[in-house]
Structure 1
């Protein structure tokens, strides 16, 4: 797998300098047009068509994955989805660097996966990108926010409207802002 494109660190955003190359920005613009014209209006059962489109633009998404038509994917080459993974309705996948969704992991409606932030101590407020990993069987519930560099461990649950900035424990159930461990998940076979 090729290395995903990430932000450059030598530009001054206060002088209007972009964080990403012209080629990168043009590909994102083309992607936005293609998604709008060919996917955003498609009916729910056409998941494989939408998976085909994101893979055409460089993603690594398994053909059993589910991507809803209202999902927003910022940059397809920075997306990996394993078997039966799901990006729900209106999910904002702001993947300025790699975002990986594991086997049978679910990111529910209106959730945000944000793989970037800014260095508040840098006078140029430079963009910092850190990968997000959603583990197998994990569930990011409705309207939750997952911050840069976070690993949602296998089997973890992030409750509705939870805001997560630190990685979780396997099978942990988290909620709140900032999200805290509430209990351990008991998975019944």
Structure 2
């Protein structure tokens, strides 16, 4: 029941503020309102009007987090975004995967794994982070990259699937 109420709450916040401009004051207000349903959210959480957040109860954001336009966050399992993270335009974070059953992915049991984005990292535009993806602190995930596994070393990651391009 709590999940359904939070889905409705997130929809109401998004619907009410969709017509307000993406200026820092409004984006912080939007982040503050979303934070009531989150597992944790620190100060200065800025969320763009066109972003879609599903599963607020499994989302935790640190301070000074910026979520740009058209970002989709589907938190069926824990998603932890640490301090000072930027998530670029049209990026997607999904903490659940499908499995196959009777020859179809439609009816397979979901496989859920947490997502972690380390302090001071940047997820560039159109990036995808799937279940179990972990970006180390002070790292960059290049635009269009797909991160589906855990990395420990700070650096620049890119490609499909993402791999270390250069150490920081």
5 Å-filtered alignment, 1:53-68, equals 53-68=33-48
* Paired position in structure 1 for 2:14: 35
Residues 90, 127 of structure 2: 8 Å contact kept: yes
- The TM-score with structure 2 as length reference comes to 0.87
Q: How far does residue 73 in structure 1 lie from its aligned partner after superposition?
A: 0.4
- The TM-score with structure 1 as length reference comes to 0.78
Residues 156, 168 of structure 1: 8 Å contact kept: no
Q: Aligned pair 1:173/2:156, yes or no?
A: yes
* Paired position in structure 1 for 2:129: 146
2:28 equivalent among 35, 43, 48: 48
Residues 78, 97 of structure 1: 8 Å contact kept: yes
* Paired position in structure 1 for 2:166: 183
Matched residue SS, 1:93: strand
Matched residue SS, 1:42: coil
Task: Name the CA shift for 1:85/1:180 in 2 (closer, same or farther; >3 Å).
Answer: same
Unaligned runs of 5+ in 1: 1-21
Residues 6, 56 of structure 2: 8 Å contact kept: no
* Paired position in structure 1 for 2:65: 85
Q: How far does residue 48 in structure 1 lie from its aligned partner after superposition?
A: 2.2
Q: How far does residue 26 in structure 1 lie from its aligned partner after superposition?
A: 4.5
* Paired position in structure 2 for 1:105: 85
Q: How far does residue 170 in structure 1 lie from its aligned partner after superposition?
A: 2.6
Aligned length: 162
* Paired position in structure 2 for 1:10: none
Residues 155, 170 of structure 1: 8 Å contact kept: no
Unaligned runs of 5+ in 2: none
Residues 128, 144 of structure 2: 8 Å contact kept: yes
Residues 109, 141 of structure 1: 8 Å contact kept: yes
Q: How far does residue 128 in structure 1 lie from its aligned partner after superposition?
A: 1.7
Q: What is the CA RMSD across the aligned residues, in angstroms?
A: 1.7
